[in-house]
Structure 1
Amino acid sequence: MKNILKSLVVFGALLIAQTGLAQDKMAMNSSMEKAAKIVKLTQTEGEFTTKTLNLEAGNYIFEISNQGVDHELGFVLAPKGKTDQAHHIKAAYVKKTVNDGESSQTNIVTLEKGEYVYFCPLNPTPHYTLIVD
């Protein structure tokens, strides 16, 4: 009986510790999302309505909206001059493709000083400049 009681106490302590860790991780992710600035971009047929972006180094979430394009859209962010798929910033892919009248966000993207380009290969759009100071 004592062994069963000890086992239950140990199991309960482990469960409480694991729950605390999960809550800490959720709180950390939530605070990172709060610290990330949201950049809203709209795509119309064959183009983004914002042609150039100037941002400070930091954490960003890109929100992509589809305004009148009758098929799914995406979002690609890459260092300038390195737009092949191997250099795409994967965190900047939208979480789901964007249908007409909808929007989708990326994960948190940490941008460092430099030049980037953004575009949609599904629309397709030109490559637009994003400068991070």
Structure 2
Amino acid sequence: MKKVIALFVLVLTVSFAAQAQDKMMKDTPAKTITLEQTKGEFTQKQLTVTAGTYIFEIDNNNVGHKVGFVLVPKGKDLSNPENHIKTAYVTAAVENNTTGNSKPTTLTKGEYVYFCPLNPTSTDNILTVK
């Protein structure tokens, strides 16, 4: 009986801790990651941030046409849209010489690849989340 009670208390503790962490992440305002695209490339090719919620701000610096933004966990098939982190997409293609934003995107520890399929840019751009 003591083992059952101890297990019950452990489950409740883990549950409350997870709920508290979820609430903290929701209550924390999103930070902004600004990335600039020029013709055929992102000007910032490596980026390191801490885990958290971010909005991607994409600057189209005279590319000459619309640009976008795709974020994929490193190691996943970049060409498969199922692997894309959809909240990181800009909410609309970014017109020439303007700026667009994504929805808030929660990032966990790991590495991510980012690229633009419309520009198109290299897929060697790495976002590291610590």
Whose helix proportion is higher, 1 or 2?
A: 1
Match for residue 10 of structure 2? Answer: none
Match for residue 57 of structure 2? Answer: 63
1:121 and 1:54 map into 2 onto residues whose CA distance is 22
2:95 and 2:27 map into 1 onto residues whose CA distance is 24
Identity %: 52
Residue in structure 1 matching 2:39, options 11, 26, 45: 45
1:33 and 1:104 map into 2 onto residues whose CA distance is 24
AA matched with 2:59? S
Match for residue 99 of structure 2? Answer: 103
| 1:32-51 deviation digits (Å, cap 9, x = unpaired) | 59711001111000000101
1:119 and 1:64 map into 2 onto residues whose CA distance is 11
After TM superposition, which residue ranges in structure 1, 4 or more long, deviate above 3 angstroms?
A: none
Unaligned runs of 5+ in 2: 1-25
AA matched with 1:42? E
Residue in structure 1 matching 2:110, options 104, 114, 120: 114
Go from structure 1 to structure 2 and tell me whether the alpha carbon gap of 1:39 and 1:33 turns closer, same or farther (over 3 Å shift).
Answer: farther
Find the structure with the greater CA-based Rg: 1
Cα RMSD of the aligned pairs, angstroms, is 1.6
The offset of 1:103, in angstroms, is 0.6
Unaligned runs of 5+ in 1: 1-31
Match of 2:59, SS state, is strand
Go from structure 1 to structure 2 and tell me whether the alpha carbon gap of 1:67 and 1:33 turns closer, same or farther (over 3 Å shift).
Answer: farther
Match of 1:86, SS state, is helix
2:72 and 2:105 map into 1 onto residues whose CA distance is 11
2:40 and 2:115 map into 1 onto residues whose CA distance is 10
Whether contact under 8 Å (1:33, 1:108) holds in the other structure is: no
Count of residues in Structure 1 that have an aligned counterpart in Structure 2: 103
After TM superposition, the score normalised by the length of structure 2 is: 0.75
Match for residue 93 of structure 1? Answer: 89
In the alignment, is residue 129 of structure 1 matched against residue 108 of structure 2?
Answer: no
Go from structure 1 to structure 2 and tell me whether the alpha carbon gap of 1:41 and 1:54 turns closer, same or farther (over 3 Å shift).
Answer: same
